[in-house]
Structure 1
Amino acid sequence: MKGKLHTTLFAAFAALLLGVSLTPLVAQPPDGGHTGGGGEENMEEFIIRNLGQVVNTPDLEYAPTITADGKTLYFVSNRNAPGSVGGHDFWVSTKDNRLDTIFTSPVNLGAPVNTTLNEGVASISADGQVIYFTACNREDGLGDCDIYEAELDGTEWINVRNLREINSSDWDSQPSISSDGKTLYFISNRPGAMGGSDDADIYISRLQSDGRWSEPVNMGAPINTKKREDSPFIFPGGKVLYFASAGHGGFGKLDFFVCRMQDDGTWSQPENLGKPFNTSEDERFITLPAAGDVVYFASERKDVGNEGTLDIYMGLLPPRTVTVLIAGRIYDVCTDGNLPGELSFTNTTTGEVVHTAKTNSSTGEYSFVMDVDQDEAFTIAVAGNVPGYGDIETKIDVPASREYREIRRDFPLGETPELAWTAPQSDYIASLPASAPAKYRNFKGLVIEEILVKEIYPLLTYVFFDSASATIPNRYKLFKSPDQTRGFTDTTIPGGTLQKYYHVLNIIGFRMREYPNTKITLGGFNSTGPRAPEGQAGEDLAISEKRREVVFKYLTEIWQIDPSRIQLVPINRDPKNGFPPERSTPTDPLGLIENRRAEIRSEDWEIMRPIFVKEIRRFHSPESMTFQMKNGIADQLVARREIEIRRKGDNDWHTMKNIGTTDPTSPEYNWYKNADPELGVANDETPYTAQMVVYSQDGRECRSNEVEIPVTIITNEVKRSERLIDKTIDRYSLVLFKFDSNEEGPLNARILKTYVYDDIRQGAQIKVTGYTDVVGLEDRNLKLSQARAGTVDKGIKKNVSSSKIGSLTTEGVGETQPLFSNDLPEGRFYNRTVQIVIETPTGGS
C-alpha cells in the first residue's frame, strides 16, 4: 500500500482490511460548503442501539452484513473466543425477528473462509448461497488485500476462489453484491482514483454472460471525491447505494451517505444520513435487510454506550424504496426432505429474467429480492427442474404495494407412495355352498380356519459340530442338571420341525427313560476322508472320539441313562477316513461339513419313531397374497423398500424386505413361510394392516397409506352352529433317504404303514411333494426329488384302495422351494424329504 498509515487504533490492521486514508480524515465540505442534503433534521428522532455484549466485545467488531430477510448477521472480529481461527475472522449470529435485537451467541464461520491470516468485510448474496469477502496476504493474492468468493453447500462454505478478474496489485476490499448477483461494488486504491495515490474510490464490476467479471470501472462523480470513499452497500433492488465518505462534508471523519439511481441510470447527489447515524467519529460498513427499515453499521462512537473501541450498532431508517422478498423451499411432500433444484423467475410483463436460483442443498430454500412499482401489480413466471421429480411451472402474483412485503412460495414435489393388496379367494370360502350365510360367502380377506391336524415330525438323530470342535453348539437345547429334565416330554415341545429337533438329545434321553429296555448305539465322526476336496483341511481323528464322548456324557449324567445301554461305535483309526458309514458327499464343502457329527441309532421303534401331534390348529387361507406398489418418487431416487405387516394397533408383526426398488408387484407373501412362527396365528378378528416404507438414496423414509386386510375366524364351533363344511389335515414328512437314492428305507417304510396308509379315509385329497437341499446340481436334485415323491406315490396306490382317494397329485420341486434354510446341516437334512399332506372332509369313512 502506498504512503504512510493513519495512526489510530486501527493502525495494526487498517492498511489491509480497512485501507484507511494516508491523510487525516477531517470533514471536508464539498464545493459550496453544504453538508449533503440536511439529513440531520430528518434523522435526529431515530434511536441508535449498541448490539451489546452478545455481539460486541472489548475487542474489535466491524463490517456487519445482514441477510435479505434481516435474520442472520455476519461480522468481523479479532476476538480470542472459542472457535476462533486466528487474526480477524468472520463470525455469524442469528435472530428470530427482523426488528428485535436478541441475537444468538456468535459462531466462527470457520475454514475455508477464515484462516490464521486476516479476513474482513463480507457481502452475502440475496439468496444466501454466495459470500464475497476480503482476505489479505494469502498465497494466491494479487495485492495486499483481495476480494474472494465462496459458495454455500448445505451448511459448509466451499469453492473459495480469488476473483482475479477484479483484483489488482493494489488494495481491493469491502465488496457489496447486488441482489440480482450481477453487479459487484468495492473499494480500491488502484491507479485512477479521483484523489490520486492517497485516495480510495468505489468501483463496480458486472457479471458477464460467460460467468466472468468485467474490468472494474471507477463510479466517478457524484459518488467518488478527491477524499476517501468507504464501505459501499448496494441496497436490494440495485437502485439505492449507501456508502461512507470523507469528501462530501458532514459531521466527522467518515459519514454515511445515500444516493439513488435516477431514471436515466445516473446517480443522484449523495445525501448525508445525518444524526444520530453520523457523529464526529468514523462511521463505516452500513448494511440493511431487504425491508430497508433497519440499519447496522460500525462506529467508534461513545454517545450510546459501547463495549469496545469499535462496535456494531443498529438503528431504524425510513425505507427509501419498496422491495419484495420472494422466498420458499423445494421439498418432498412425503418425506418433508429438502430437494436441490434450479429455478428461473421471469417478469411476465417485461419478459425479463429477474432471478435464477439454486436451492440450498441442506435447507431446500431459495430467496431473492426485487424492486416493485408502488402502483402496478405484476406476475412472475417460475420455471425449474428437480432431478427425479420433473419440471416446476407456476406463477407468483406480486401485488402493488407501498411497503416492503415478503411472499413465500414453497414447491412440494412427489407423491405419497401407494400400496394395495390382492389375494385369491380363500379355498374355504370358495367351497361354501350357496346356502351358507352371505357374510361368509362374500367375505374378501384372510380366513383363519380351525382344523383338526395330525402331524408327524421325523427325528433326525444326529448332532452336528463346528470344525475342529467337540462342543455341542448353542443352538441345541441342553439341560444343566438332572432336575431340569423333570416335566419334559417329547409331545409338548413348542414350535416346528427344527425347534423340536434342537431337543434331540432330550428326546432320546426322555424315551430311554420311558422305555428302560431300549438301547442305542453312539458314534463320533469327522470330515477327514480320502475324497475331501483339494485344499480342504481335514480334522484330527481324535475329535471323533471327543464328539462321541460329549453326547455320551450328556445322556448318562444329565438324563442318568445307564451307560450299559449305550453301545459306543469304535472309532475308525484310519487316518484317511473318519467319515460316518452313511456319509454325506465328501466332494462338496457342504457335504463335508455334514460329516462332523455324532450319530445315534437304535433298532427300537420307541427311540426312532417320529413325534406325533394331534391338535386343533388355525390356518390362514389363502396362504399367500401379493402387494401392488407405487413409489411416489422417481425410481432412481429409491434406495430400498419394505412392507410392514402388523395387527392393527400392534407393533410390527412381520417386515417384507426383499421387494426390489422398482417392481410394481411384490413377491408372493406367504403367511406360513414369511411370518415369524413365534408370533403364531391371530386369535381374534382384529384386521392386519400393511404399509410400504420407501427409503430414498439420502436416507429419508416415506410411508404409504395403510391398507387393511380383514380377518374372519371360522372355528369348529362356528362350523357346527352355521352348518359349514369341515375337514381334517394330516401332514407327514419322510427323511433319511439314502444318499442320492430314492429307496424309502426301513424307517420310512414303517412310518408310511403306521401313519399314512391306514389313515387315508373316504374323499381324501392327497398331495405328495419331493424336496432336496442345495448340495449337488440343480437338475439332478430336481430329478431326485421327483423320484422320491414317485416312490411314495407308488406306495399309496399299492396300499390304499383307490375308492378312498378323492385326488392324488405328485411333484418334485428339487431345491427351488426349500422348507428350511440350507445354511446349517440340519436344515439341509430336513430338506431331503417327501412331504405328504392329506385333507379329508369330515364324515369320510
Structure 2
Amino acid sequence: MMLAINTANAQNWMFGVSAAGNLNYLTGTTQRLDNTYFVPTAFHKGTDFRPYGSILAEYNPKKVFGAILNIAYDGRGGKFDDVIAPCDCPATLNSKLSYVAIEPSLRVNLGTASNLFLFAGPRAAFNLSKDYEYTQLQQQDRSGEFSAVKKTIFSGQVGLGYDYAITNPTSATKVVLAPFISYHPYFGQDPRTIESLSISTVRAGVAIKLGKGSKIEAVKDNSVIVPNREVDFTVRAPKTILLKREVSETLPLLNYVFFDEGSTTIPNRYIQLNANNASNFKEDQLQKAVNSNMTGRSARQLNVYHNILNIIGDRLRANPNSNINLSGASANGAAEGTLFAEEIKQYWVSNFGINGNRIATQGRTKPLVPSEQLGGSKELALLREGDRRVDITSSSPELALEVGGGMMKPVMIVSDLEDPLDSHLIFNVGGASSLLKTYTITTKDENGTTQTYGPYTRDKESVAGKTILGERNMGDYTITMNGTTKSGKAVSKEAKVHLMRQTDMGAKGYRYSILFNFDKTKTIASYEKFLNESVVPLISDGSTVIIHGHTDMIGNEDYNNNLSNDRAMEAQRILEKALKSAGKTKVKFETFGFGEDPNKAPFDNSTPEERFYNRTVIIDIVPTN
C-alpha cells in the first residue's frame, strides 16, 4: 500500500505509517471449525506472530495531551499447539483471522520536554479474513473459513512510545521515527459467537511520521487483494439404494394437547376411546399399528401422538402412585385455560377410571414455555395457535423422562422408513453459502438423459437415489454442479457415480428423536444422559450415524438453517465424546441442518403438533450390513 500524505501547514499535526508485529496468544477452546466440520480433538492454546500495518494521523500540541488515530490492517491469527487426534496421529490448526482496525488513542506526553509518551484507547475491528488450515495425519488436509465469526469486535489497548527526530531541527520537513510497544488484553477479543476462543496481543513496531513541510505528492495504488478461493464439490453416493428400511424408533411423546380457536372441547384429531375400549387399551398396541386412514409423511408417528390421552391414561392406570399436572393456556384468559385442563382430566377420570385427586389442573394466559415472545411481530397467528394448549407434566419417574423439562417418556414403535437418508446422494458444495448466489445439480446417465435439481444456496444438499434412478436398477451418472458467484462468474464442477438399487429392506435400523421448544438450542444438553445411556450402546463400531436437524416453517430461512445445524452438531459432539469413552473409534457421522426445508421436514406444518415435531434432531443408526 502506498500512502498519500499532504503535510503543508501542519504545525501540530503529523501523518505517517507504522509497521509492527503482533505476538498473539490464543486461549480457550476451538473444536468446531465451520458449519460442517467438527475436529475430533479440541485446540486450546497457541501463539504466533502476525503482521500489523497502519496509516496514522497524530495531533501533538507539545502539551500533556494529544491524540493519535490509526487505521490498520491487523493480523490476529496464530498457530495452535499441536494435539493428538483419536487415531493417535498429530493434528495442527492454523488460524488466519485478520481485521481492518480503527484505533483512536489518547496520547499522554511524559513531560513537555520528554519524547516519551503513553497512549491508550479503544479498538474497533472489522473482520477481513476468517480462513483456517487444518491438517491431520492419515487424512486429507482441510482449509476453509471459520463459522460464527463476529463481523465487528470492540476492545482496547495501552502502550508506550518514543519520538526520535531524524531530520535537522531547522528543516522545513520534520521526520520522526517512533518505536512503540502496546498490549491488547483479551477483554472483548472473542472473535466468534460460539466456543471460547480469546486472543491477547503484544504488539511491537515502529512508526514514521512527517509534519510541517512542503507538499508531498500522493502516490495512488488502487490494487485490491482478493482471496483466491474456489468452490469445492464432492458427491457422497450410497453403495446401494434402499427404498425403505424397517426402523425401531424411540419417539418422543410431545407433552402438549392443542385446542382449536373458539372451542374448549378436545379436537377430533385426538383419538378418544369409550370406557369399554379404554379398559382394553395398552400402549404397546401402537408399536406396529397400521390404520387405513394413515396418509402423508410420518403418519404412524402422528397416530401415536394423537393417542397421547390414551397412552398417559394407560400409564396412570398401571402406576397408581403416580400423579400428573395439567396447565391449560389461552390468550382469552386463565379461566378458559382451566376449562382445557378440566376437559382432559374428565376424560381420564371417566374413561380410564383415574382418581381425580391424582390430577392437578390450573389455567394461564401463557403456557409454561410460550412460543410467542414479548415484542414479537411476525407470524403471530401460528405462534398463538401453538400457545393455545394444555401442558402435561409430572414428577413421577414412571411417567416423565428425566430430561427436557417434564417431557413424557418416549414411545417405542416399529415403522418403515421410506427413502432413508443413507440412500440419498449428498452434494457437498464447500463455500456455496459465502461464494455463490445459487447453484443447480444436473445428473446425466450413460444414455444422455439429464435431470436438474435446485436452485440451492446451502453448502450441503441431498437428492434421493431412487429419484435419480427412476425405474432403472442401476446406472452410471455424471453429476454436474453449475453455479454463479456473487460477482456474476459461472462456476462448474463435475463428479461421477455409480448407482444400484437394493431390492430387499436390509437390516433393521434404529431412530431416536430430540424435540426442542421454539427457538431453543440449549435443551440439547439436558438430553446428554439419555444419549449416553440409551443411544450410544446401540451404536456399533464401524456403523454410520446420520444426524439431521430440522425446524418448523416459522422464522427466517437462513436463521433456521443455522439453528438446525447447531442443534445437530451439538448432538454429534455429545455422541462422539461418549463413543470415544466407550472405545468406539470407527463410527462415521453424517450431520446435516435442513432448517425449515419442506422437502426434508419429517412432518407437514399444517397443525401445531406437526410444527412442534419438526423442531427436532433425528438420529438414525444405520446398520453395518
Same fold (TM over 0.5): no
TM-score normalized with structure 2 length: 0.44
Question: Taking CA–CA contacts closer than 8 Å with sequence separation of 6 or more, which of the two structures ends up with the larger relative contact order?
Answer: 2
TM-score normalized with structure 1 length: 0.33
Tell which structure's C-alpha radius of gyration is larger: 1
Greater fraction strand: 2
